[in-house]
């Protein structure tokens, strides 16, 4: 598999995933991914993306209870 940005080879390893969202910051240190051996761009497979989205849905629901609008 080739990187769409630099055409480097993709290797299976882990990569961080971070997001700023609705009043909070979330960082996963090591999500399984395909990572370019040249530029380091990570590509997450559907299963990992689905799992991240499920976690975000749950956190969003709980965060709404905690965060007061300014």
Instruction: Determine the average pLDDT of the residues in 28-51.
Output: 98
Dihedral class, residue 53 (left if φ above 0, else alpha if ψ from -120 to 50, else beta): alpha
Q: Considering the entire predicted model, what is its pTM?
A: 0.78
Per the prediction, the chain carries an average pLDDT of 92
Q: Does domain 10-66 have CATH number 3.90.1170.50?
A: no
Dihedral class, residue 35 (left if φ above 0, else alpha if ψ from -120 to 50, else beta): beta
Q: Domain coordinates of the chain in residue numbers?
A: 10-66
Asked if residue 64 lies in contact with residue 23, where contact means CB atoms within 8 angstroms, the answer is: no
Residue 68 has pLDDT above 70, yes or no: no
Residue 61 has pLDDT above 90, yes or no: no
């Amino acid at each position: 598999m080739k990187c769409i940005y630099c055409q480097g080879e993709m290797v299976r390893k882990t990569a961080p995933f971070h997001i700023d969202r609705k009043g909070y910051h979330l960082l996963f240190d090591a999500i399984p991914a395909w990572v370019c051996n040249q530029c380091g761009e990570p590509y997450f497979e559907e299963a990992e993306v689905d799992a991240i989205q499920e976690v975000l849905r749950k956190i969003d629901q709980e965060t709404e209870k905690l965060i007061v609008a300014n």
